[in-house]
Amino acid sequence: MTEPRPTPLRKLLTLPHAESLPLSIRAKALVFSDPQSERLLSQVEQVAASEATVLLIGETGTGKELVARHIHACSGRTGPFVAVNCGAFAESLVDAELFGHEAGAFTGASHARAGWFEAAHGGTLFLDEIGDMPFALQVKLLRVLQERQVVRLGARQPVPVDVRLVAATNVDLAKAVQAGRFRADLFYRLHVATLPLPPLRERPGDILPLAQHFAEIYRKKLGATALEMSPAVERALLAYEWPGNIRELENVVHYAVIVSQNGRIEREDLRLPHGLSAASSEAEAPPAPEDTLGQLRHSVRLLLAQQHPQLFETIEQLVVSTAFEHCGDNQVRTARELGISRNVLRAQLKRFGLLGERFLVPVD
């Protein structure tokens, strides 16, 4: 069997010094090889050229911070990129962290300190998990966005700031507004340029390039001279749903590189949780989706990732020929089962060379 050629990296984004960062739930690399990812990249770079506030929506581990950094890099802004996780601070500290404080503003505030907005002056402020921001502080954030100035805790004079805001969330903010957990006016202020980041399972063309990227990183760390993935490994990586997205893929590849032998990652080196056993044989199929349509969708993803030529026509011919055979070459029954007219079916049968002379009779 001929091994598939490595998929070229058309665009790769990584966090600064990603190879030395500790393990986290963040995605440390992002590629744009899948057609859906390429469209996203085009949208990102179009939005970056403006000064609009950007809202990134996506599951944990889909690369929201990487996209935010790329927006900053393409924006032409000369100030710094500052990333803040709104869910990482206690509610009592978020105010001082974002907007700064004066000396004596609260117990322990022995000296004045600029907040993250001032730190990002002239650049971009990335607020991750903005849906976790306390309700009371949402009013203050809205005021900063509207007036372009901050007031430190314990101060009366505002400080002008020139900051481009990029916010991110993995929750549905519209539902949070309905539930009374997020201010509607702030939601609409953020909802200027919204970019949904699809999960990894919906962009299968990125899976193998990312896996190869992570494998190369950890190969170098181990000092190995060469490393390749078997075809069975590539099939398993494409078949898996990746609920943990890019972060989970990196963990799986990291472990596989560690336990691999003879410069080759084999199927048994993969440790895929959630019901997909790494000890299963090549002949075993991945866990079946809950329904038949889900299984079909799974197969289409694999074909898309393999860049199958004339995929739509191939699938269309497969559906028509399989249904025709299933119905015993009965056109009326086949048309009824497919939910199309007999005339449409006959045109498809002729198109695919499935209509022999014995079927060429006038249509009522």
**pLDDT above 80 for 169:** yes
Write down the pLDDT at residue 168. Answer: 94
Phi, psi values for residue 309, rounded to 5°: -70, 145
- Ranges 8-17, 291-300, 329-338, most confident: 329-338
More confident residue, 134 or 325: 134
b/e burial code for range 10-29 (CB count within 10 A of at least 16 → b): eeebbbeeeeeeeeeebbbb
Kindly report, residue by residue over 22-66, the tens digit of the pLDDT.
Answer: 555 568 888 998 999 999 999 999 999 988 999 999 998 899 999
Per-residue confidence (pLDDT) for residue 230, from 0 to 100: 93
Measure the CA–CA gap between 362 and 364, rounded to whole angstroms.
6
- At position 226, the amino acid (one-letter code) is A
- Write down the pTM of the prediction: 0.69
pLDDT value for 283? 40
Give pLDDT, residue 323. Answer: 85
DSSP 8-state class, residue 132: G
Residue 68 confidence class, pLDDT cut points 50, 70, 90: very high
**CB–CB of 175/164 below 8 Å?**
no
Tokens of 44: 């990102």
pLDDT on residue 108 = 63
Helices (H) and strands (E) in the chain, counts: 14, 11
pLDDT tens digits, residue range 193-216?
A: 999 999 999 999 999 999 999 999
CA-only gyration radius of the chain, Å? 26
pLDDT of residue 207: 95
SS3 content of the chain, % helix, strand, coil (to 5): 45, 10, 40
Question: In sequence order, which ranges of 54-183 are alpha helices (DSSP H)?
Answer: 64-75, 91-99, 116-119, 135-147, 173-178
Q: How far apart are CA 266 and CA 225, in angstroms?
A: 17
Pair 114, 100: CB distance under 8 Å: yes
Mean confidence (pLDDT) of the chain: 81
Per cent of the chain over pLDDT 70 is 82
Angle between helix 35-48 and 64-75 (nearest 10): 40
pLDDT of 9 > 70? The answer is no
Q: Which of 180-184, 293-297, 317-321, 348-352 has the highest mean pLDDT?
A: 180-184
Q: Quote the CA–CA distance of 188 and 190 in Å, as a whole number.
A: 5
Task: Label residue 53 exposed, middle or buried (CB < 10 Å: 0-12, 13-18, 19+).
Answer: middle
Sign of the Cα pseudo-torsion (126, 193, 151, 143, in order): negative
Average pLDDT over residues 229-235: 93
Mean pLDDT, range 292-316, rounded to an integer: 75
